[in-house]
Amino acid sequence: MFDPTAFDNMKVVIEGALYDLDMIGEILVTDRNDWLNLAKMSRLFTISFGLRESRLPIHAKMELEARLNNLAAELLPESLSEQNAGCYVKLQFSLELPENQRDFYGLYKIFQNIWGETRKISQSVEYNPLEKSKNIRLVISIDFERIVKEEQMEDFAEMTEFMIATLQQLEEYGSGS
């Protein structure tokens, strides 16, 4: 039997928290991926979900990534700094809006109010200029820009609550409330 890595342990905690919420009907898990990149010796886990009762196409995605140096620092602690042992966490929220309803600064303030001013929050817009529809797809990302260690796993429960609060705020925003 092998000793699971921090990546494995964190992935199980995230899955458990989100599937528990799916089971009680609060959210709906819509996608899940677990990739192993043999060329770069890295792992990436993503899980996407939305509010079960959502009337709008709004989704959240959590990414957990362990790069070679993260795995090596954990598996070979005598040769590398244990500071690198852990994973990177990135969150993404996507929503579709009519082009005339966009308020990028207002959305940024929603995210700052929930996630704090120290997080790197970025937005990107996608649209088809040849399509008559004037809808845009907005993707808002939160990058923690640091390694999350196994000792911080308990923060995932709180992070999940913040993600749900963010989806609820986006639902209100998208409904024009």
pTM, rounded to two decimals:
0.90
The residue assigned the tokens 């590398």 is 80
Q: What pLDDT does 142 receive?
A: 96
Closest to 122 in 3D by CA, of 91, 100, 87 = 91
136 inside domain: yes
How many domains are contained in the chain? 1
Residue type at position 100: N
Q: What pLDDT does 1 receive?
A: 43
- Sign (positive/negative) of CA torsion 99, 101, 105, 107? negative
32 inside domain: yes
Q: What pLDDT does 2 receive?
A: 59
55 inside domain: yes
- Quote the DSSP letter at residue 82: G
pLDDT tens, position by position, for the chain (177 residues)?
Answer: 456 888 999 999 999 999 999 999 999 999 999 999 999 999 999 999 999 988 889 999 999 999 998 888 888 867 656 678 889 999 999 998 887 777 899 999 999 999 998 899 999 999 888 888 778 899 999 998 888 988 888 888 899 999 999 999 999 987 775
1 inside domain: no
Q: Which domain holds residue 99?
A: 6-175
